[in-house]
Amino acid sequence: MKIKSLLLIGALFAVGCSAPKEDQIDKRVNDLLGKMTLEEKIGQMNQVSGGYQFIDQIAAGNIGSILNIVDPVEVNAVQKAAVEQSRLGIPLLVSRDVIHGFRTIFPIPLGMAATFNPEIVEKGARIAAIEATASGVRWTFSPMLDIARDSRWGRVAEGSGEDPYLDVQMGVAMVKGYQGDNYADPTSLAACVKHFVGYGAAEGGRDYNTAMISERALRNTYFPAFKACVEAGALTLMTSFNDVDGLPSTGNDWLLTDILRGEWGFDGMVVTDWNSSGELVSHGYAEDLKDATALSVNAGVDMDMMSFGFVQHIKALVEEGRISEKTIDNAVRNILRLKFRLGLFENPYVDETLAAKVAYAPEHLEAAKQCATESVILLQNNNNTLPLKSAKTILVTGPMADAPYDQLGTWAFDGEEQHTVTPLDALKNDYKVIYEPGLGYSRDNNTSGIAAAKAAARRADAVVVFVGEEAILSGEAHCLSQLNLQGAQSKLIAAMKATGKPVVVVVIAGRMLTIEKDMAQCDAMLYSLHPGTMGGAAIADLITGRAVPSGKSPMTFLRDAGQAPFYYNHPMTGRPNNGTETLLNDIPIKAGQTSLGCTSYYLDSGYGPHLPFGYGLSYTTFEYSDITLDKQQYAADDTIVVEYTLANTGSYDATEVVQLYVRDLVGSVVRPVKELKGFERVALKAGETKRCRFELPVSELAYWNRDMKYVVEPGKFQLWVAGDSASGEAHSFEVK
């Protein structure tokens, strides 16, 4: 089903919702702003969590936005108070954390990134918008664009991983999907790009902590996805909890005014994260809530989420001259512009019967299943264990085999577990299933159930072990110092291996775990990043062979958590490892201080990761050959044309995610060892060969250089076309 067909559902909402022109909107905004008292302006800048309990304040014009109500009846009731009882009739903006689906839950965003398929990600966001707006929600706090290079940080689940290019593609796809082609269409859900900025670089992978990032690193790594989403029309932006170089983002005028408004020309609305204005006091950046309010508003924040400082203190701050009323007018102008763009003045109410009609629509479930299928990564398949075509009876075991709540993952507030298809449910359609869970939940250390699972394996042709993480173990404030499987899950896998039966392990988790030792205890391993409502059906299709894995890792798999942060596109060091490592157990007694080579690696875990960024196997094999560039020297305004031949040399029809990497060999500042610059999903029949191409504008080789200028520096480059970030042969070219 094409994305356009989903838009037909919007006809259920309203007829005649053409988008007003921007000049008309600006006139209406200014006319309305001229009628407002200072108190009414402040009210528009106030967002609260709840509904009915705030009806009187809404009617008084003291609230501009509410979050966390999804009952259409309640939404209409509070909206009526705003539209029909307040003096100026300004509608409320109703918001919700719709992160990877509303009722129909798609894989967590990290899982969606593993598809390397912006089209299915856009479709998922469009479906989320259709279902959420049917309940009256018109604003979501997504997508999260935080580059994350440390799996200890729980919020890696909410983003697209470690690579800026992939982050751009996934972020733009989600913005387009949420907002659709017409902001005023009642199915348009305003996107909120977050968290601005550097939140994913929190020190030690601990949530809310400081991030030390240079301006150059911000511009080269952390800004690109935000800038791209602003250019794609994202309507709102959220500040981050963390500080960058000592400046908390919610009070950072360089970020919010100079960069966002000045350089990028953003005319949308900026909202704090939950109480992030009030937390300026906890940071030691503000003396009290009043001071925090002044710092936030003057930095460029338009709306306050749940600190209540704006509504309590702005009036006095204006009277004292610490905030100008012009600054307040600019903030309110941004809020009103958003409400006019969304058509809320024309269509403030929602059809109270609609939510039940669109939730879990067959085409929504079909798309969720496709996304889940494409998100699963095949990490290992010894002796072609998968698919399980000859098995008739299988043992299904492990705490994640039938965990409908946890399968939905973090931030699935409105997903309903009774609609979840678990792997246990789905596999019963294809095999005679013996089910012995072995463990009650992922952190369970009670091993008494493992013996029953081991005994049951004798009656099975193969064993499928479902392990991983409960939903509560990832997401906001759910950070870990160790990334191994929790509880006795590794013991369960080892016990199944000891039975001598073929063992398939399926990991269902919210981050990249350290599973190298567990891979040694199984014949095949599939990795699924909390796959959502239809995850079980997707996994069953992969196990049976009805579908072939095509997912690729959006983050590096580590050997040990002590390697974090670790990412493929790191800067080159002066003493790079050359592949020679002397590890702990191989060091001679009384070895000389410099005898181990003096290169960059760990004595205990070596230099490289367990598995690289972009990694993922298939049931077939792919062969790359005849990689050519159209020429060897390019000018700054040229386009590099790269052609390659891809052959499916196995026996399954399958899709390969082909990846294009580039390295700038010499720069005015140290450059990354590799950078992703393109990817495409190429579907081939068994035995089919296809000639394909990438077109890479030389301008995309630009970066912020020593002089803090965004330029393409002339020099020598290398280029790879491969199936992951560690494969392929380098091809040289030069930019003159």
What's the Cα-to-Cα distance from 652 to each of 545, 618, 619, 658, 687, rounded to whole Å? 9, 9, 7, 17, 8
For the chain, the C-alpha Rg in angstroms (whole number) is 27
Q: What are the φ/ψ torsions at residue 435 (nearest 5 degrees)?
A: -115, 120
pLDDT in tens, 219-231: 999 999 999 999 9
pLDDT tens track for 418-450: 999 999 999 999 999 999 999 999 999 999 999
Is pLDDT at 542 greater than 70 in this prediction? yes
- The predicted model gives 320-330 an average pLDDT of 98
pLDDT of 234 higher than 90? yes
For residue 336, give the H/E element and its range. helix 325-341
Q: What is the mean pLDDT of residues 568-593?
A: 94
- Residues 375-387: tens digit of each pLDDT: 999 999 999 999 9
Predicted confidence (pLDDT) per residue in 458-484, tens digit:
999 999 999 999 999 999 999 999 999
pLDDT tens across 250-284, in order?
Answer: 999 999 999 999 999 999 999 999 999 999 999 99
- pLDDT exceeds 50 at position 3: no
- Provide mean pLDDT across the span 506-528: 98
Note the pLDDT tens digit of each residue in 8-35: 344 344 334 567 789 999 999 999 999 9
Name the 3-class secondary structure at 414.
coil
pLDDT of the residue at 5: 38
Provide the 3-class DSSP secondary structure of residue 281.
Answer: helix
pLDDT given for residue 20 in this prediction? 79
Instruction: Reply yes or no on whether the pLDDT at 339 is more than 60.
Output: yes
How do the domains of the chain map onto residue ranges? 29-249+267-275+302-354, 622-735
Catalytic residue among 146, 150, 243, 273: 273
Decide: 161 and 565 in contact? Cβ < 8 Å.
Answer: no
CA distances (Å), origin 285, targets 244, 277, 280, 302: 12, 10, 5, 19
What pLDDT is stored for residue 8 in this prediction? 38
The architecture in CATH of the region 29-249+267-275+302-354 reads Alpha-Beta Barrel (3.20)
Rounded percentage of the chain residues whose pLDDT exceeds 70: 98
Q: What is the pLDDT of residues 666-682, one digit of tens each?
A: 999 999 999 999 999 99
329 is catalytic: no
Q: What is the pLDDT of residue 579?
A: 85
Common-topology check for domains 29-249+267-275+302-354 and 622-735: no
CA dihedral 288→292→294→295, nearest 10 degrees, is 130
The pTM of the full predicted model, rounded to 2 decimals, is: 0.97
Least reliable range by pLDDT among 12-16, 233-237, 294-298: 12-16
Specify the CATH number of the domain 622-735: 2.60.40.10
pLDDT of 4 higher than 80: no
pLDDT averaged over every residue in the chain? 96
Q: What percent of the chain has pLDDT over 90?
A: 97
Measured distance CA(409)–CA(421) in Å, rounded: 14
